[in-house]
Amino acid sequence: MNLSAEIVEAVRQAIDVDRLSATAVDLVGIPSPTCDATAVLNRLAELLEADGFPTERPEAGYAKAPAVAARFDSGVPGPVMQFNGHFDTVHLPFIAPRIENGILYGSGASDMKGGMAAALEAFRILKENKFLTAGSVLYTGHDLHEAPWGDGTQIDRLIEAGYVGDAVMLPEYVSDRLAVVGRGLAILKVTLSREGIPVHEVLGGMEQPSVIAAGAELITRINELDQQLSEITDGIAGRESMFIGEVRSGEIYNQAPTEFQLTGTRRWLPGTKHEAVKQQFLDLLKQVEQACPGITATGEFHFVRDAFQLDQEHTVVSNFQDVCTNVMGEPLPIGCKPFVDDGNTFSALKNIPAITHGPNAKGAHTVNEEVPIAELERVALVYALTAISFCNGEQ
């Protein structure tokens, strides 16, 4: 659907920046570390119900913090646009919200309560102004997103229960590209251990199986595997990898420890199955045990999200790029998704086209999150116009 200058300006004028700012401050002001987003989701439901949206609270496998789902239907059959995001934040000290010089600061301001407040403003103005002549919009919010504290299962259960649209938009903090491909992610943890207790090197320590030597064997094998994985590449997303971020062992320089621990990541491209990635990891542990007598290798494979790919020929992509041209003056360049998000899950589980686009925000996963209010206003405009274009046009 081609958007007229009149409809673009009408939607722009419909955005209530004061309401948008107040909503963002309200949501950021409620602490919601992953696995404990109950209060902010309750508040979200109150806001939606106060605006007259039919609102549901599906548990989606996590009764402590039921998810939120609200709908607006034009009354005419047509496509369903979904706005989705998480309301949990990483486990860092809580920073209360404040607005200074047009910038919102506080925990979750950039990741991703600010973006979800913008999506909510788009949702509101679509209902208030009857911009939709067909189709409907679904707004969903949930917990359990941020790893390693959350396991991502609440959005999995929502999707499996049918809380999905024909396309989904996610206001994470990617604003400079249209992400069309992204790697999957698993967090890896390995513990190498021997029987017995820590012991001085000259009192029997030298005769014990060395967990540190086994750790060196493990690191060597991981580096060799990473070199092999580097040959599996995508022109946009880069290469597959196995990365070591942390190793630890021992208490003092002349004591033989009983454990060696390693943590890292495994990232893979579309076309690689995460089940095969996990088996590769387990096989690696068996190889280390075989090479190091007296050593037991145990591993944790924390699957975070699968790989992601967006069908660039899908109608919603052209709708979105047309909107970007209208709002920002040009379509976004094609690029990779730098992290994993719920869009990976929508893509992997149901092949639903997922566009990650949010405010130009800073400080995600730090205590210095910030987002310009003007960026939230822009995101609200982009989301409302994309929904109008997608729902009113032909899918």
Q: Are residues 76 and 154 in the same domain?
A: yes
- For residue 167 the two structure tokens come to 């396309």
| pLDDT given at position 70 | 98
Q: Read off the CATH number of the domain in which 236 is found.
A: 3.30.70.360
Tell me what the mean pLDDT of segment 100-112 comes to. 97
Q: Are residues 215 and 173 in the same domain?
A: no
Number of domains in the chain: 2
Mean pLDDT of the chain: 96
Contact partners, residue 121, CB within 8 Å, separation at least 6: 15, 16, 19, 20, 23, 376, 380
Q: Where are the alpha helices (DSSP H) in the chain?
A: 5-14, 17-28, 38-50, 114-129, 153-160, 211-229, 274-291, 315-328, 342-350, 373-392
Q: Are residues 175 and 192 in the same domain?
A: no
pLDDT at 394 over 90: no
Q: Are residues 163 and 211 in the same domain?
A: no
pLDDT tens by residue, 188-247: 999 999 999 999 999 998 999 999 999 999 999 999 999 999 999 999 999 999 999 999
Q: Are residues 82 and 141 in the same domain?
A: yes
Q: Are residues 202 and 247 in the same domain?
A: yes
Q: Of the candidates 251, 284, 305, which is a domain's last residue?
A: 305
pLDDT-derived band of residue 130, with 50, 70 and 90 as boundaries?
A: confident
| pLDDT given at position 1 | 54
Q: Are residues 100 and 191 in the same domain?
A: no
Range of the domain at 258: 184-305
Q: Are residues 253 and 321 in the same domain?
A: no
Q: Are residues 126 and 195 in the same domain?
A: no
Q: What percent of the chain has pLDDT over 70?
A: 99
Q: Environment class of residue 70 by beta-carbon count within 10 Å: exposed (0-12), middle (13-18) or buried (19+)?
A: buried
pLDDT at 156 over 50: yes
Q: Are residues 59 and 79 in the same domain?
A: yes
Tell me what the mean pLDDT of segment 323-350 comes to. 95
pLDDT tens by residue, 234-277: 999 999 999 999 999 999 999 999 999 999 999 999 999 999 99
Q: Are residues 119 and 253 in the same domain?
A: no
Tell me what the mean pLDDT of segment 364-377 comes to. 97
Q: Are residues 299 and 332 in the same domain?
A: no
| pTM beyond cutoff 0.85 | yes
Q: Of the candidates 305, 322, 343, which is a domain's last residue?
A: 305
| pLDDT given at position 393 | 82
Q: Read off the CATH number of the domain in which 59 is found.
A: 3.40.630.10
Q: Of the candidates 286, 305, 324, which is a domain's last residue?
A: 305
pLDDT tens by residue, 16-74: 999 999 999 999 999 999 999 999 999 999 999 999 999 999 999 999 999 999 999 99
| pLDDT given at position 395 | 38
Cis previous bond, 112, omega within 30? yes
pLDDT at 3 over 90: no
